[in-house]
Structure 1
Amino acid sequence: MQRYLLWGSLSVVVNIAMFYLFNSIFGVEYQISNLLAWVFSVQTAFWVDKLLVFKHASDHPFRDMGKFYGTRVFTYILEAVILYVGISLLSFHPTITKVIGHGLAVIGNYFFSKWFIFNNKAHTKA
């Protein structure tokens, strides 16, 4: 978990920075900014988690990537709902709402990665 927090902070920085860049600097609508930030950060997170956090050896990296993206879709939807409620319904600041939503998503992502994607149980020969 310590490696996840240390290295996972890189994908969090990518996510929040990309959201801020698209939404606040370029004026892109917040849900589209969130989707773009998600794509950049999930790709960063996959390689960081695979190589540095869970040190997962596999003969099927693209299958692992598919599972990784699949679980991230669930937490992306959770985050999108939080953004909608926080920004559209409650008129909270977009970047602050993003930080809160992404924080909850990170917690879910850790458990999905640990239990379903990088668990190192007979993944090398399938």
Structure 2
Amino acid sequence: MDNLKSLWYKYHDIITYVFFGGITTLVNIVVFDLCNYVMNYQIANIIAWFASVIVAYVTNKLWVFNSHYDNWNAVFKELFLFFGLRIASLVLDQAIMTVGISLLGWDALLVKILDQVVVIASNYIFSKYFIFKSKKMNAKNRRSFFYFKYFAKNSGSCDVRISGPSSVMTKVCSY
């Protein structure tokens, strides 16, 4: 059981990203396919992108990378980075769709599914290393930190400090 926990903590970001990325990809493909029946594939792709980016932001922020901030400036900076880098992946997405459908004449849904492999990989790299990066804590400590911070906050006048290269958390209380 300890080995399983160790693997979970080691690969938490990847496992949860694959799970929620699958949901996001499904949203993208379903919205694209529905819209593609009534409009141009390029417009359908942008609508699908927008719907999936909203799903991706919420799931990545809350459950994949556990990103929580106390102030609005940090939230807006993260949101701006997220949408900015997702626009970069939209450009890549549109380019693959245009080549596959307009130049090669392939089926739109097939191209969309193939396209998602490249988009998912680029979005993971953007999210992990540029948007939701954590300089102080790894995935295991992040979760523990927020639980610890909650209990410290609700048990008198205590604060949580992170120190040292291993991000040691200590509860500092003044009575």
* TM above 0.5: yes
The aligned amino acid for 1:31 is: Q
Where has structure 1 moved over 2 Å in runs of 4 or more?
none
Structure with bigger strand share is 2
- Measured in 2, the distance between the counterparts of 1:75 and 1:101 equals 11
- Measured in 1, the distance between the counterparts of 2:53 and 2:134 equals 20
- SS of the counterpart of 1:37? helix
The aligned amino acid for 1:15 is: N
The structure with the larger Rg is 2
8 Å contact from structure 1 (residues 57, 120) kept in 2 = no
Residue by residue over 1:77-120, the C-alpha shift from the partner in whole angstroms, topping out at 9 and shown as x without a partner, is 11101110100011100011011112201100001000011012
Q: What TM-score, normalized to structure 2?
A: 0.66
1:73 Cα offset (Å): 1.0
Matched, 1:47 2:58: yes
CA-based RMSD: 1.1
Q: What TM-score, normalized to structure 1?
A: 0.91
Q: Which runs of 5+ in 2 are unaligned?
A: 1-13, 137-175
Match of residue 26 from structure 2: 13
Which is bigger in relative contact order (C-alpha 8 A, separation at least 6)?
A: 1
Match of residue 61 from structure 1: 75
1:61 Cα offset (Å): 1.8
Match of residue 36 from structure 1: 47
Q: Which runs of 5+ in 1 are unaligned?
A: none
